[in-house]
Amino acid sequence: MNKKSIAVLPFVNMSNDINNEYFCDGLTEEIINALAKIKQLSVTSRTSSFYFKNKTVTVEQIREKLNVATFIEGSVRTSKRKMRITVQMIDTLEDFHFWSEVFDRNPEDVFEIQEEISHFIAEKLREHIGHLEIEDKLIERYEVPVPVYREYLKGRYYLMKLDYDSSLKAIEIFKSIIERSPNFVNPYLDINQAYTFMGTMGLLPAFEAFQKAQSFFEKARSLSPNSSRVQLNLAWIECWQNWNLKKAYEHANKALETQPTDEIYLTISNLLTVEGKLGPAQNYIDKALELDPFSSINHHYKGFLYYLQEDYDKAKRYLEKALELNPNLPFPPIYIGNSLLLSGKPIEALSYFNTLSGISIKDLTKLGGKTMCYAVLGETTKCDDGIKELESYLTSDLVEKALIFLILVYALLENEDKVLEYVKEAFNNHLPLVLLLNPSPVLKSFKNNQHYKDIMLRAIPDNVNYKQKKKYKQALLDTNEVTRYSKELKQIMIDYKLYLNPDLSLKDLASYLDLPANYVSQLLNLGFQKNFSEYINTFRINEFKERILLEENKGLTIMAIAYDSGFNSKTVFNTFFKKIEGVTPNAYLKSHR
Query: How much is the pLDDT for 359?
Result: 60
- Nearest to residue 311, comparing CAs of 286, 289, 283, 279? 279
Share of the chain above pLDDT 90, in %: 47
Q: Within a 10 A sphere around the Cβ of 87, how many other Cβ atoms?
A: 22
pLDDT value for 472: 45
Out of 84-88, 278-282, 339-343, pick the least confident.
Answer: 278-282
pLDDT over threshold 70, residue 464: no
Which class for 392: exposed (0-12), middle (13-18), buried (19 or more C-beta within 10 A)? exposed
In this structure, are residues 392 and 406 in contact, taking their beta carbons and an 8 Å threshold?
no
Residue 360 pLDDT > 80, yes or no? no
**CA nearest neighbour of 398 among 427, 375, 365:** 365
pLDDT digits (tens, 9 = 90+) for 304-334: 999 999 999 999 999 999 999 988 888 899 9
| Kind and range of the H or E run holding 300 | helix 296-308
Please state, in angstroms and as integers, the Cα–Cα distance from residue 536 to each residue in 9, 150, 499, 577, following that order: 37, 46, 6, 13
Q: Measuring CA to CA, how many Å separate 28 from each of 156, 260, 268, 532?
A: 12, 18, 27, 41
β-strand partners of 88? 73, 100
Q: Identify the weakest region by mean pLDDT among 231-235, 298-302, 468-472.
A: 468-472
Higher pLDDT, 468 or 287: 287
Higher pLDDT: 548 or 448? It is 548
Question: Measured between alpha carbons, how far is 374 from 20 in angstroms, rounded to an integer?
Answer: 55
For the ranges 17-26, 349-358, 410-419, 500-509, the maximum mean pLDDT occurs at 410-419
Q: Which domains does the chain have, with CATH numbers?
A: 5-129 (3.40.50.10610), 148-225 (1.25.40.10), 253-459 (1.25.40.10), 479-592 (1.10.10.60)
| Mean residue pLDDT across the chain | 88
- pLDDT at position 513 is 79
Determine how many CB atoms are found less than 10 A away from the CB of residue 290.
Answer: 18
**Cα distances (Å, whole numbers) of residue 161 to 146, 157, 328, 481, 559:** 23, 7, 13, 55, 38
Mind listing the pLDDT tens digit for each residue in 203-238? 777 778 888 999 999 999 999 998 899 999 899 888
Question: Which pLDDT belongs to residue 396?
Answer: 86
